[in-house]
Amino acid sequence: MVQRQLPRPSEIFELMQFKKPELNAKKRRLDAALTIADLRTIAKRRTPKAAFDYTDGAAEAELSLTRARQAFADIEFHPDILKPAANVDTSTEILGGSSAMPFGIAPTGFTRLMQTEGEIAGASAAAAAGIPFSLSTLGTSSIEDVKHANPRGRNWFQLYVMRDRSISYGLVERAAKAGYDTLLFTVDTPIAGARLRDKRNGFSIPPQLSASTIANAIPRPWWWYDFLTTPKLEFASLKTTGGTVGDLVDAAMDPTISFEDLEIIREMWPGKLVVKGVQNLPQAVDLIDRGVDGIVLSNHGGRQLDRAPIAFHLLPQVVREVGKDATVMIDTGIMNGADIVASVALGAKFTLIGRAYLYGLMAGGREGVDRAIAILRSEIERTMTLLGVSSLDELEPRHITQLQRLTPIARD
């Protein structure tokens, strides 16, 4: 028989402690976000559909993005047991400098459209976290303003080679003068991909009002207040080049980009040169032979060629061929710190996050970006501890199995 007794009030209060209410609504909703997916849910609730879909969507049927995320889900970890990893070190050396974690913020265009703090929120959050921040050619904060927001941190510049080459050359010179240490030469955008969500939403830059956009904005007055009471949305680094926003987008995509352009930029740029958008092994080898400092395996977040190769699947073979000679990085589909750990285990020196950062931005501005970084940091640390590794250098391919879902059909 169980012995029963009347509860003592002192024992009840010892076991039950009331949580202090959080009066700050932004902090309350961000603290409730435990994953990047949670931040996405908040972002979708707080952002007009056209702006959210621009961030969230990809090209055509969005197969490239779906497959990239599925590839990270289709892994199996192999932990070491009875191997203490009480003090995990997530720091790494990348492209001649340090980073507190094995990821940085990827370049994103039109960022102030998602939330008015835009790239400044990303750069300042990156500075606080000790990780690199990448600014896009199509960014809505200038090269100089981002440097001001991250004066002592790592700033990288992503370059589109524009039809008017002098514009691109001018941006390279400005980034070098501002002290950016790495240039991301982007090669997967000869033309814009077919982003069907944007077409269906009647999306434009700057946003144009219609009956549907007004109806969608009614429950989101805070976004419109921020949008209408802050400086004009424009491509900050390009505003002196003339032309409409549409003209500049068209000019940024150039199908004539070639290896000759790469050589010219290599001669101009004093820092590290990384080619972003590599999607096959032979060209990875060729680029390293041509003397670039690194490559980013990427299909542009699934926003260009749908059904493009999955960067995470390419990673092991590219690392085997060129990993000793150059820095191999990866992006597309990363939504969890475990994705980052898996990438490092398979040989990536670094990773870049795009949508994961933007979901945080839309969910809560600078504080939302801080929350996204904190979520990824805790997931990285927890995954490493559970694997029994204390540093990134201890991660090896034996810790990961890539499970097979998409299998190429053998050719006759």
Phi, psi (rounded to 5 degrees) for 221: -65, -30
d(CA 396, CA 83): 15
155-159 and 400-402 strand pairing? unpaired
The 3-state DSSP class for residue 293 equals coil
C-beta neighbour count of 264 within 10 angstroms: 16
Q: At what angle do helices 311-322 and 281-289 cross, to 10 degrees?
A: 40
**Does residue 11 surpass a pLDDT of 90?**
no
| pLDDT(125) > 90 | yes
Query: Is the confidence at residue 102, as pLDDT, over 70?
Result: yes
Find where tokens 């999955």 sit.
Answer: 310
pLDDT at site 246:
54
Confidence bin at 241 (pLDDT 50/70/90): low
Out of 78, 148, 300, 399, the active site residue is: 300
pLDDT in tens, 288-298: 999 999 999 99
Q: Strand, coil or helix: what is 389?
A: coil
Letter string b/e over residues 378-397, b meaning 16 or more CB atoms within 10 A of that residue's CB: ebbbebbbebbbbebebbee
Structure token pair of residue 41 = 């849910």
Instruction: Tokens 């976000």: give the residue.
Output: 33
Closest CA to 237 of 55, 344, 112: 112
- Arithmetic mean of pLDDT, 190-197: 86
Q: What DSSP string runs through 92-121?
A: EEETTEEESSSEEEPP-SSHHHHSTTHHHH
The CA distance from 238 to 166, in Å, is: 12
Note if 313 is an active site residue.
no
Span 344-371, pLDDT tens digits: 999 999 999 999 999 999 999 999 999 9
Taking the CA atoms of the chain, what radius of gyration do you get in angstroms?
23
Q: pLDDT of 393-411, one tens digit each?
A: 999 999 999 998 877 776 6
Strands 327-330 and 400-402 turn out to be: unpaired
Residue 37 host element (H or E): helix 36-46
Cβ(364)–Cβ(371) below 8 Å: yes
Helix (H, G, I), strand (E, B) or coil at 401: strand
In angstroms, the CA 326 to CA 314 distance is 16
Question: What would the pLDDT profile of 44-97 be if each residue is shown by its tens digit?
Answer: 999 998 889 999 999 999 999 999 999 999 999 999 988 888 899 999 999 999
DSSP state of 244: -
As a whole number of angstroms, the distance between CA 217 and CA 220 comes to: 5
Q: Which two tokens stand for residue 309?
A: 């190769």
Q: Is the pTM of this model over 0.75?
A: yes
Contact in structure between 236 and 141 (CB atoms under 8 Å): yes
pLDDT of the residue at 412: 58
Q: What residue ranges define each of the domains in the chain, with the CATH number in brackets?
A: 25-402 (3.20.20.70)
CB 318 within 8 A of CB 327: no
pLDDT, residue 224, reads 80
Q: In this predicted model, which residue has the larger pLDDT, 164 or 376?
A: 376
